[in-house]
Amino acid sequence: METPLHIIRLLADGRCHSGEAIAAHLGVSRAAVWKALRKAGEALGLDIVAVRGRGYRLPAPLELLDAARILAALSPEAQQRIARLEIHDAIDSTNTRLMHEAAEGAPSGTLCLAERQTAGRGRLGRTWVSPFGANLYLSLLWRFPFGPAGMGGLSLAAGAAVANALRAAGTGDIGLKWPNDVLWQRRKLAGLLLEVAGEAHGPAHVVVGVGVNTHLEPDQGAAIDRPWVDLDQALGRGAYSRNALTAGVAEALIQAMDRFGREGLAPFLADWERYDLYRGEQVEVHWGQQRVRGTHLGLDASGALRLDTGAGIETFQAGEVSLRSAED
């Protein structure tokens, strides 16, 4: 008997497959086909449609992750910087996986992808909705010779890199919300989670986790507590390749990590400010139960948010606060 993923790979083209063909593929009787399909659908959270007189299909085609296609879409330089590429059918969290591997000595440039996360995580303890085969769940391990204090502003550099990758994929109207939410027409399209560990004076490592919504059903998106959007809405279904997008985001992150290690945050600030959707607007900065309202003045050289409260200018560091428009 094949695994659920083997069954879904057979149906991934979105076409109808006869019960006889599926039975032959699985090595089971015709009578056992529906039971096997139902178990595969339940295991991966997918609907499988029975079409009378024709067979079985998925509601829409799926482009599953393919290591060869992803690597082929990378530049030679990026290929050389990837030490290892992992693709998991299902995993608790790509970030959790790489943090464990980093502690065990995994090399810089380890890239972890998943078709599905069962415990995907966002910033500030939020859950990241992670259905099978529908979005991009990517984490990159990168090692630096300096300590965690030298990584100030790294989340901003990573956010600008992801925004550039999505723009290169054809997504206009991309913007950033401090510190690193990626928005399309002010709805959340992608988010980042950076986790750092290491010695105070170095070396240290970071795991950069990226989630990009490519296709979410309304019932899946209902669990998201902010206005959201997916690439199907921004570009149109079939207007992009999930594997090419994965390669584009990975390449952008690799280039950003390498450059940040050599030059710090400074070369990324112009891009970040170009994407900043809230500069000049009235916003509220939240941390814990406290909030401060004022005019968003942009970032300082360290990447801290500058806020004119009317009583003076205050600065806030990424990782401590969340930012919302005063109109939200």
Q: What amino acid positions are annotated as catalytic residues?
A: 123, 188, 324
Taking the chain, what is the end-to-end CA distance rounded to the nearest angstrom? 51
CA distance 238 to 223: 25
What are the φ and ψ backbone dihedral angles of 278, each rounded to 5 degrees?
-110, -5
Provide the token pair at 188: 């959340």
Query: Please, which residues bridge with residue 195 across strands?
Result: 207
Q: What is the DSSP string of 60-127?
A: S------HHHHHHTS-HHHHHH--EEEEESSBS-HHHHHHHHHHTTPPTTEEEEES-BSS-B-GGGPB
CA distance 323 to 293: 10
Residues 182, 228 contacting (CB under 8 angstroms): no
Count of other CB atoms within 10 angstroms of residue 13:
13
CA distance 324 to 307: 13
Determine the distance from the C-alpha atom of residue 157 to the mean position of all C-alpha atoms in its chain, rounded to a whole number. Answer: 15
- Per-residue b or e along 177-189, where b marks 16 or more CB atoms closer than 10 Å to that residue's CB: bbbbbbbbeebbb
